[in-house]
Structure 1
Amino acid sequence: MQDVQALPDDRELALDQVGVSGLRHPIVVLDRAAEKQRTVADISMSVSLPREQKGTHMSRFVEALAEHHGEVTMRTLPKILRDLRERLDADSAHIEVRFPYFLERAAPVSGARALMDYECAFIGELEGERDDFVLRVRVPVTSLCPCSKAISDYGAHNQRGYVSISVRTGSDSRGEPALVWIEELVELAERCASAPVYPLLKRPDERHVTMQAYDNPVFVEDMVRNAARVLRDDPRVVWFEVHAENHESIHNHSAFARVSWGG
């Protein structure tokens, strides 16, 4: 049977990335409390394509993922990327795994418990002998405006916002990426905001969260700086980016701030 994508190409144009996207697949990720958590990911995988090759073999991407049984962590990504590069005889390989991660959260007063989901991603790239791995977590938070509080006789405008934290870690003693838990980044984002967002609140909880936010007003600038200061002092972290965005409740726009550090 003819293998068309293996035919030569004479246009002399190498491609940076070619692969599959929108691949939904069950995965297993590390969970600080339960050791492992099962979820469903949206996965993109790609490799570089040399100028003399017409196409890549798309089925091999799915084969590589299947052979790793869906276990995707910062420590298994290097193996998946090496497998992709070898299977497809490529110079570089890239993978992005986006997934919801669930944590059971307790309301601050009543203790009512429910699951909360957080948008997470593992991003990995392998080029030559250089590999790169990033963990990204997007956390919903409540923010209350310091300026509004300062100028108002009572009350202050507040809104839901999002703090996104991306980190690149150094290597541990075994040469693997140092482990930063998703839960750590969730907790950091919430500490930098006026108050957390909860999946379930009773009336006493709503009162508590409302007053907590009022007692802790922050701008988006404050949130990214507060998070950056903690990440900069973490010996595991060699690079980070923090992005905060408020969906303003009294303005017809959103406010955002971003900071990055390291290499």
Structure 2
Amino acid sequence: MTMSSSMFQAPRADLPDVAHQSVPLARELQWVGMDNIALPVRIADGAGGTLQVPAAIDMAVNLGNPDARGIHMSRLYLRLQDGLASEAITPAGLRHLLQDCIVSQDGLASRARLNIRYDALLQRPALQSGFSGWKRYPVEIEAVLADGHLRLSLGLEVEYSSTCPASAALSRQANAERFVQDFDAVQPLSSDAVVDWLASERGMAATPHAQRSRAQVRVELKPQFDELPLLALVDALEAALATPVQTAVKREDEQAFARLNAENLMFCEDAARRVAAVLADDPHVTRYEATVSHFESLHPHDAVARISGENP
């Protein structure tokens, strides 16, 4: 994220600048800047390349001089625009950008903060058919540089399917009761008759309820790593939850998805523990918090579990 010197020319001396006027109620301000700046950013695509995607960005510095009326806001914007234009987002690049924003304030600031929100598009393979499709993952990156120390946080969302264990147990009981009803008097009972019954509509007396669900994760990253572990986190979380929502789906993929749901019955509490186990074992993560939400198909409200922790 290098800065082009031609982008930042000296201001015209004959233009008025009210920022240097006297300050009523003088005091320091913790943060001053801009929210929801619309800019394109470059991100890794998960396949060794980069993608350019639209982002919403908050940028701020502290105003440490109580007698200064305001910061040089246009300098922040220009450095942000130039710094994010050509290179994929990395911890080193964010550190350089934040330091440059501090320097741009000519002694008014000693800290800088940046928040970047965008949708990562990752291509994900189907379960069986060999097809693949693009899936959207909302991402939020927060970077704060203070006293030479970079604090970096990564937030992301993963969607998955959750099938209720209680509903599954009740459905199995209903299926068993119907089996007894249909075959109690049948003697002898052949395996072919059972297979035909199971494949018929009579063989499904009830089905468990399932719903689209979401895991929202925020992690504070250790400073020694050179890349944002977005893809690694997505892969680990989807593997742990086992039923991530699909993109390109043929019949064999849909059947495989149904099997995975049956093998991974989950209350929201179960899902939260699976997510926490991933984050607690991740070498990139120093602190984490997660919220899992199951958007109930049985109830008009959501089932939600939250968990947080710190890693050594």
Letter in 1 for 2:81: A
Letter in 2 for 1:188: A
For residues 193-232 of structure 1, the aligned pairs below 5 Å read 193=241, 195-232=243-280
Task: Report the structure number with the largest CA radius of gyration.
Answer: 2
Q: Is the 8 A contact 2:19 2:69 kept in 1?
A: yes
Q: Is the 8 A contact 2:229 2:284 kept in 1?
A: no
Aligned residue for 2:229? 181
**Secondary structure of the structure 1 residue equivalent to 2:266:** coil
Alpha-carbon shift at residue 179 of structure 1 (Å): 3.5
1:75 is the counterpart of 2:92: yes
Alpha-carbon shift at residue 194 of structure 1 (Å): 5.1
Q: Is the 8 A contact 1:65 1:80 kept in 2?
A: yes
Q: Is the 8 A contact 2:272 2:306 kept in 1?
A: yes
Stretch of structure 1 that moved more, 245-254 or 104-113: 104-113
| Residue 85 (structure 1) aligned to one of 94, 97, 102 | 102
Letter in 1 for 2:272: V
Aligned residue for 1:145? 164
**Secondary structure of the structure 2 residue equivalent to 1:76:** helix
Richer in strand (by share): 1
Task: Measure, in 2, the Cα distance between the counterparts of 1:12 and 1:220.
Answer: 50
Aligned residue for 2:28? 14
Aligned residue for 1:251? 299
Letter in 2 for 1:155: T
Alpha-carbon shift at residue 212 of structure 1 (Å): 1.4
- Structure 1 unaligned blocks of 5 or more: none
Which string of whole-angstrom CA distances, capped at 9 and with x for unpartnered residues, describes residues 101-158 of structure 1? Answer: 1111222122222211111121101222332101111111111111221233332111
Alpha-carbon shift at residue 67 of structure 1 (Å): 3.0
Task: Measure, in 2, the Cα distance between the counterparts of 1:129 and 1:38.
Answer: 29
For residues 120-131 of structure 1, the aligned pairs below 5 Å read 120-131=139-150
Alpha-carbon shift at residue 239 of structure 1 (Å): 1.4
Aligned residue for 2:203? none
For residues 31-70 of structure 1, the aligned pairs below 5 Å read 31-50=45-64, 51-70=66-85
**Could you say if the C-alpha distance between residues 25 and 224 of structure 1 is closer, same or farther in structure 2, counting changes exceeding 3 Å?**
same
Task: Measure, in 2, the Cα distance between the counterparts of 1:6 and 1:201.
Answer: 62
Moved over 6 A (4+): none
**Secondary structure of the structure 2 residue equivalent to 1:79:** helix
Which string of whole-angstrom CA distances, capped at 9 and with x for unpartnered residues, describes residues 35-60 of structure 1? Answer: 42322211110111233222222211
Aligned residue for 1:105? 124
Aligned residue for 2:41? 27
Which string of whole-angstrom CA distances, capped at 9 and with x for unpartnered residues, describes residues 175-225 of structure 1? Answer: xx4535211121222223251111221233222212211221112222221
Task: Measure, in 1, the Cα distance between the counterparts of 2:145 and 2:251.
Answer: 51
Q: Is the 8 A contact 2:114 2:142 kept in 1?
A: yes
**Secondary structure of the structure 2 residue equivalent to 1:75:** helix
- Structure 2 unaligned blocks of 5 or more: 1-14, 175-205
Q: Is the 8 A contact 2:237 2:278 kept in 1?
A: no
Q: Is the 8 A contact 1:170 1:178 kept in 2?
A: no
Task: Measure, in 1, the Cα distance between the counterparts of 2:22 and 2:152.
Answer: 33
**Secondary structure of the structure 2 residue equivalent to 1:52:** coil
1:169 is the counterpart of 2:184: no
Task: Measure, in 1, the Cα distance between the counterparts of 2:307 and 2:263.
Answer: 25
TM-score under structure 2 length normalisation = 0.77
**Could you say if the C-alpha distance between residues 53 and 212 of structure 1 is closer, same or farther in structure 2, counting changes exceeding 3 Å?**
same
Q: Is the 8 A contact 2:90 2:228 kept in 1?
A: no
Percent sequence identity over aligned pairs: 29
Letter in 2 for 1:100: D
Task: Measure, in 2, the Cα distance between the counterparts of 1:105 and 1:124.
Answer: 28
**Could you say if the C-alpha distance between residues 178 and 225 of structure 1 is closer, same or farther in structure 2, counting changes exceeding 3 Å?**
farther
**What's the Cα RMSD here?**
2.0
Q: Is the 8 A contact 1:32 1:181 kept in 2?
A: no
Q: Is the 8 A contact 1:224 1:258 kept in 2?
A: yes
Alpha-carbon shift at residue 233 of structure 1 (Å): 2.4
**Secondary structure of the structure 1 residue equivalent to 2:241:** coil
Q: Is the 8 A contact 1:18 1:56 kept in 2?
A: yes
Richer in helix (by share): 2
